[in-house]
Amino acid sequence: MTTTDTTAGEPLSALAAVDDWLARNTDRLIEIRRDLHAHPELGREERRTTRALQAALSNAGLTARTLPSGTGLICDIGEAPRIGVRADLDALPMTDAKLVPYRSTVDGVTHACGHDVHTTVVVGTALLAARLYADGLLPEGLRVIFQPAEELMPGGALDVIAAGGLDGLEQLLSMHCDPTLELGQVGLRVGAITSATADVEVRVSGPGGHTARPHLTSDLVSGLAAIVAGAPAALGRRVDPRSGCALVWGQISAGTTGNVIPREGVARGTLRTLDADVWETAPALLGEIVKEIGAAWGVAAELHHERGVPPVVNTAAAIELLRRGLALTLPPGAETTTTQSLGGEDFGWYLQKVGGAMARLGVCPPGGSAGDLHQPGFDVDERCIAVGVRMLVGAALASTA
């Protein structure tokens, strides 16, 4: 299949059309990313972001529908698409530490996880795919999904699913910035690539009393400390060690003064596991452990559990599609392996409904550093945007080859 480049007047193959479009539009994509980075929005508040994306798609002749929640978009390019690509829109509640022209203009909010890059890559994929489809170079349609609230629980993936965002799809693809991979590299893995997660809270209670007479009451602080120290070890001996189950506390609080044994205390943390079955069963087991340890100290202990996200499990078919796309549109050596992470991603909810995969996009400048995810100084080598577009458009082309 060929088309005619209006600037050169010569026929272009699909791959040449990709090269030509990116040569003329990459600077514009970088501008979009910088605008998103300068105007971050938290989960379910991505109204400006949604309007900006809708305008960009509309200017290209595309019609996107807004999710019922008011943030996030779904847009079909062509008819009856079987392949979809997904981006996440929300930022994190932290202050941008970078001294760059596109530094966040919103106090206490910044894109420190790369969602601005994900969104820009999918915008670019949509605009380029629309051009290819119009020119007869992309025989089948493509769906683009801009999802709100990935960082929240419950996350925006469930909103997309409820709104019919997966209807008709056979494969759904996405990417995530990876600061450990250099620019030009794409990390692929068949099977689980992220962890299942849950938020846990332990509340302990007792009669309280004077620190001079702990034997006449229940030493609540020591009991809570025993739970915090002992529960992760006990849980690790009650589940299969191959499950990669990790209970880590992030907050502990009890009491207001040094000579009073308090009546209440709380500890909060996360429970993560590489095994979906353990994700289902571990909370009940942890609840038993917490009660048993608390009872040894004479305090009542209750576990409150909020289910997080399932693991992202990449299918072999989707990874093969990404591989073929990389081979079409990127130089040899772009593909690399990647490991499973204990991080959570609500993309896992989609893959319980359809096949698909998440790739890791290298964003580290060669010989430099991008910082780490969820750190206030995180940034990317913006040339990764074109790499991401090539990867996703390449997969769309490969799906029809």
CATH number of the domain where residue 218 is located: 3.30.70.360
Let me know whether 380 and 283 are in one domain.
no
213-224 pLDDT, tens digit per residue, is 999 999 999 999
Rounded distance between C-alpha atoms, residue 25 and residue 16, angstroms: 14
- Quick one: which of 285, 267, 269, 265 has its CA closest to 277? 285
- On the question of pLDDT at 2 being above 90, the answer is no
Q: Which residues contact 177 (CB under 8 A, 6 or more apart)?
A: 113, 114, 117, 118, 360, 361, 363, 370, 373, 380, 384
Give me the pLDDT at residue 185, please.
Answer: 98
Q: What value does the mean pLDDT of the chain take? A: 95
Q: Give per-residue pLDDT as tens, 56-96.
A: 999 999 999 999 999 999 999 999 999 999 999 999 999 99
Region 281-298: mean pLDDT is 97
Q: Are both 12 and 121 inside the same structural domain?
A: yes
Q: Are residues 27 and 144 in the same domain?
A: yes
Q: Are residues 130 and 201 in the same domain?
A: no
**Helices (H), ranges, 105-201:** 115-134, 156-162
Compute the distance between CA of residue 9 and CA of residue 51 in angstroms, rounded to an integer: 35
Mark whether 120 and 141 lie in a shared domain. yes
Separation between Cα atoms, residue 221 and residue 218, nearest integer Å: 9
Distance CA(319)–CA(279), nearest Å, equals 25
CA proximity to 217, closest of 229, 205, 227, 226: 205
Q: Is the pLDDT of residue 8 over 70?
A: no
Boundary residue ending a domain (253, 283, 307): 307
* CATH code of 139's domain: 3.40.630.10
Please check the confidence at residue 5 and state whether its pLDDT lies above 70.
no
Tell me the residue type at 78: G
pTM: 0.91
Whether 361 contacts 177, CB under 8 Å: yes
pLDDT in tens, 328-338: 999 999 999 99
Q: What is the pLDDT of residues 242-260, one digit of tens each?
A: 999 999 999 999 999 999 9
Domain boundary among 278, 307, 336: 307
Both tokens assigned to 83 = 């392949």
Please give the residue range of the domain that contains residue 217. Answer: 196-307
The number of domains in the chain is 2
Identify whether residues 316 and 277 lie together within a single domain.
no
Among 202, 185, 78, residue whose Cα is nearest residue 138: 78
Task: State the pLDDT confidence band at 7, using cuts at 50, 70 and 90.
Answer: very low
Q: What is the pLDDT of residue 11?
A: 54
